[in-house]
Amino acid sequence: DAGVIQSPRHEVTEMGQEVTLRCKPISGHNSLFWYRQTMMRGLELLIYFNNNVPIDDSGMPEDRFSAKMPNASFSTLKIQPSEPRDSAVYFCASRTGTSLSYNEQFFGPGTRLTVL
């Protein structure tokens, strides 16, 4: 299996621009998580989906952030407009199980976002 795939791996953009991060979970996994990692705040869960349905988006920082999962093999995280404080590494992770499960999560390689 190819593992969780994220694109792009690096993104540099200017403040005010729209940024779209993409994730392809492992085939057969029905839960998908978006995390943000910074030195100051550590590893934060932004949102997670189960069977393509958002279960918990309480970690989404503000309305500038939105996430979609149109099908079982694709998810996007969009930031519009982007701000310098959004600079971070964004990870996507997937796992099997129900929305109540705590199975092993498989992380993608991450997208390093820099907003100038």
List interacting residues with other proteins (CB under 8 A).
Answer: 31, 33, 42-43, 45, 48, 50, 55-56, 58, 91, 97-102, 104-110
The distance of closest approach from Cβ of residue 29 to other proteins in the complex, given in angstroms and rounded to an integer, is 13
φ and ψ of 28, to 5 deg: 95, -15
> Dihedral sign, CA of 99, 19, 86, 113?
positive
- Mode of pairing for the β-strands spanning 74-79 and 106-107: unpaired
Nearer to other proteins, 3 or 16 (CB): 3
The answer to whether the peptide bond before residue 8 is cis (omega within 30 degrees of 0) is yes
Nearer to other proteins, 15 or 43 (CB): 43
- CB–CB of 64/80 below 8 Å? yes
The distance of closest approach from Cβ of residue 16 to other proteins in the complex, given in angstroms and rounded to an integer, is 29
Nearer to other proteins, 45 or 76 (CB): 45
- CB–CB of 82/15 below 8 Å? yes
Nearer to other proteins, 54 or 81 (CB): 54
The distance of closest approach from Cβ of residue 81 to other proteins in the complex, given in angstroms and rounded to an integer, is 27
The distance of closest approach from Cβ of residue 103 to other proteins in the complex, given in angstroms and rounded to an integer, is 8
C-alpha radius of gyration, the chain, whole number: 13
